A and B are shown apart, each in its own frame.
Chain A
Amino acid sequence: AQSVTQPDIHITVSEGASLELRCNYSYGATPYLFWYVQSPGQGLQLLLKYFSGDTLVQGIKGFEAEFKRSQSSFNLRKPSVHWSDAAEYFCAVGPYTGGFKTIFGAGTRLFVKA
């Protein structure tokens, strides 16, 4: 069955430090992979997506993610975190069970300390 695992419920990073959020998926074929961000009190916004081709994808706000098929992973990275990056981050994979549905991970909440 398709699934998405985000092993870290929350992470604390100092401002200016690098960030890596982990995502592992279980999927029978080549998946479409996404990272979304949810700032407090807001809906989800797409950070980046991977469909095919170059396994290192660039997104908005200075984020990037790398697809590693052998590890079934799609980890999100940022070289230098800003206080405004404090939010909840969701990894997602699709489609599943046909149609246009995607399945979301449980989320990782990022705290940024000064």
Chain B
Amino acid sequence: DVKVTQSSRYLVKRTGEKVFLECVQDMDHENMFWYRQDPGLGLRLIYFSYDVKMKEKGDIPEGYSVSREKKERFSLILESASTNQTSMYLCASSPTSGVTYEQYFGPGTRLTVT
């Protein structure tokens, strides 16, 4: 089974702090994604990566950055956390070979910024 893990299930940070959310997948998938989930808005793509050190902006990249130094790990960084970044963050991965566009999700990190 594909496993996508996220470093924290719950996180509470203060405004202005630098926040790191880590995601690791164990299926050698080329593509990795970071989403933010808010009630009534579904999932919105923040960033995605299709290879090591490669990244592309999604629909709402402002206030976020990402890092992918190893194939299995994709990090989301909030450079200076703000209260409007309080949300559920979901990481996902998908393979390139045998493309089906199906994504495998981690359990999510619920981030609260106070």
Contact = CB atoms under 8 A, between A and B. Distances in A.
**Chain A, interface SS category:** loop
B102 A34 contact: yes
Interface string A19-61: 0000000000000101010000111111001010000000000
B35 to A, nearest CB: 8
Interface residues of A, number: 23
B56 A32 contact: no
A43 B43 contact: no
Contacts, number: 57
Contacts of A102: 101, 103
A43 B107 contact: yes
Interface of B: 4, 31, 33, 35, 40-43, 45, 48, 50, 56, 58, 90, 92, 94, 96, 99-108
Interface of A: 9, 32, 34, 36, 41-46, 49, 51, 90, 94-95, 99-102, 104-107
